[in-house]
Structure 1
Amino acid sequence: MLLGRPWGRCHLGRCALLLGVALLFDAVGLVLLLLGILAPLDYWDFLVYTGSLILAFSLLFWVTWYSLNIEVPLEKLDL
């Protein structure tokens, strides 16, 4: 039965708060960027630049979240 049981485990990792912040920054940045591009507003440049900066900051949260979720077995560590 295909719908009765999931194929694999899906988890958000150890730091779900960083994942949530990264997704929030992505959504807000994309909305501001598209609003600045598509809406006929006088302050379109502010929205475009702000959306781009927020998207750039979201990359920092994505890299941090990914780095904190890397799992290295104890055998591979030289302790």
Structure 2
Amino acid sequence: MAFLRLLGRCAIILLVALFCDLLGLLILLLGIFAPLSSWDFFVYSGALLLAFSLVFWVFWYTLNIEVPSKDQGVH
């Protein structure tokens, strides 16, 4: 149960963000290290996928912010 608490309330969004990071990094590294004639396509698409994953990271973080309710005595 402690592992599920680390994932937060939006585990699906977290898994999508991690998948985008992993796939983007693999594509980026393929473009850098593989002897391909179209290496720039892989480098740019990997970098774009890594940048796109930031959207999911922001969603996950934003949806996991806990706002205290008024009945908890916060003034």
What is the TM-score of this pair, normalised by structure 1?
0.82
Distance 1:38 1:71 in 2: 43
Seq. identity, %: 62
Cross-structure match for 1:21: 16
Query: When the two structures are aligned, how many residues end up with a matched partner?
Result: 69
Q: Distance in 1 between matches of 2:20 and 2:38?
A: 21
Please list every run of at least 4 consecutive aligned residues from structure 1 whose deviation after the TM superposition is greater than 4 angstroms.
none
Q: CA deviation at 1:30?
A: 0.1
Which residue, 49, 55, 74 being the options, matches 1:60?
55
Partner amino acid, structure 2, of 1:22:
A
Rg larger for: 1
Q: What displacement does 1:36 show?
A: 0.2
Q: Displacement, 1:56? A: 0.4
Secondary structure of 1:61 counterpart: helix
Q: TM-score, normalised by structure 2?
A: 0.86
Partners of 2:63 and 2:36 in 1: how far apart?
Answer: 41
Asked if 1:34 is matched to 2:34, the reply is: no
State the Cα RMSD in Å: 1.4
Q: Could you tell me which amino acid in structure 2 is paired with residue 67 of structure 1?
A: T
